[in-house]
Amino acid sequence: MKVIGRQNRELIALKRKEIQRTSTTESPERVYFCWFLSLKLILEMEERKLKFDGESLIGEYKIDRKLYKEWNLDALLHLNFHKWWEMYKTLFQSPPVVERDNLKDWITKPHYRYLRVDLRNSYTNIKRRVLEELDDLIGQKVDNKTKYPVIGKPQYDNEILKYNIMVRKINGESNLSIFESEINRFKVIEQKDKGREEFEKKGLDGKTKILSESKLFGIYRNYMSLSPEEREISTYKERRGIMDEREEEKYRLRMKRTLGLTIGRDLELILTKEINRLVKNYRQILCGISQGQYRKPIKF
């Protein structure tokens, strides 16, 4: 199990493909990449009996294996996305709009309409008559084209951030380590209107500009502006009011209320709140994925 970096080869390949051609799937391949990662994470949790904050995750997400039968979960668990996608991408591809071959296989179905075109007419006349034959479809509601539809419009950086946070939490990383490792993606989803902070920054032209940032980034910037010595936590002995003969009970250790301690506590508090929010949402998304719904949050 590993986090996804910005230089991930599979991701770069997916971005390149999206630029080069129009996808034959309802959603960009990056969306299915996120779905693949999340489902694989659930499978790894089951196989490796992983724990989250000291609690077992076994049984939290019950995969509907009957629904996912076509995905070949055993292969998915042990393959990277590129190899798996090449074998199973047809599960997500939209049906072709136009077919000209295998006319003998054309059969009557509610979602088919057959038109016979006499090519002795001009292109303009053919186009006009075909459009007239399809006028009744204007405004018609279309059912899902695939068996595995994507719900909503997933934002890639947001989805990968939640996935990486979950993996890092399982691996036992601290909230500060998680934030600093994923700071670029946190910046993408930053909500500057939440506890808005303003600060001055000198540009390359030498002029000072007033910029705004969220409370989280404001506190982090203040914390990082401190020297390592200022951020260091120091303690002192405080004499207890009640004394007895045991030396260890005469005194107690207290932390000095330094600027580093105060800002550090504020940073940890807001980081814990934000990371817990993202983890809770992602765990609900994992519940939805286990039931074949990406990405519908379902309470666990």
Global pTM reads 0.75
Cis-peptide, bond into residue 65, ω within 30° of zero: no
- Long-range CB contacts (within 8 A, 24+) of 141-148: 145/26, 145/94, 145/95, 146/25, 146/26, 146/91, 146/92, 146/93, 146/94, 147/70, 147/91, 148/91, 148/92, 148/292, 148/294
- Report pLDDT for 20: 46
- Please give the chain's pLDDT, 300 residues, in tens: 788 876 666 665 666 555 445 557 878 889 999 999 999 999 998 888 776 666 655 557 789 999 999 999 999 999 999 999 999 998 998 766 666 666 676 777 777 788 888 888 999 998 999 898 888 888 877 665 678 889 888 888 999 999 999 999 988 899 999 999 999 999 998 877 666 667 667 677 777 777 788 899 999 999 999 998 888 887 777 776 665 555 556 667 777 778 888 999 999 999 999 999 999 999 999 999 999 999 888 876
- Report pLDDT for 246: 57
For residue 22, the 8-state DSSP code is: -
**Taking a C-beta distance cutoff of 8 angstroms, is the pair 88, 71 a contact?**
yes
- Long-range CB contacts (within 8 A, 24+) of 61-70: 61/286, 61/287, 61/289, 61/290, 61/300, 62/290, 63/39, 63/290, 64/290, 64/291, 64/292, 67/291, 67/292, 68/39, 68/292, 70/147
Under DSSP, is residue 132 helix (H, G, I), strand (E, B) or coil?
helix
Q: Nearest CA to 187 among 211, 209, 154, 203?
A: 211
- Report pLDDT for 249: 60
- Report pLDDT for 267: 96
Terminal alpha carbon distance of the chain: 22
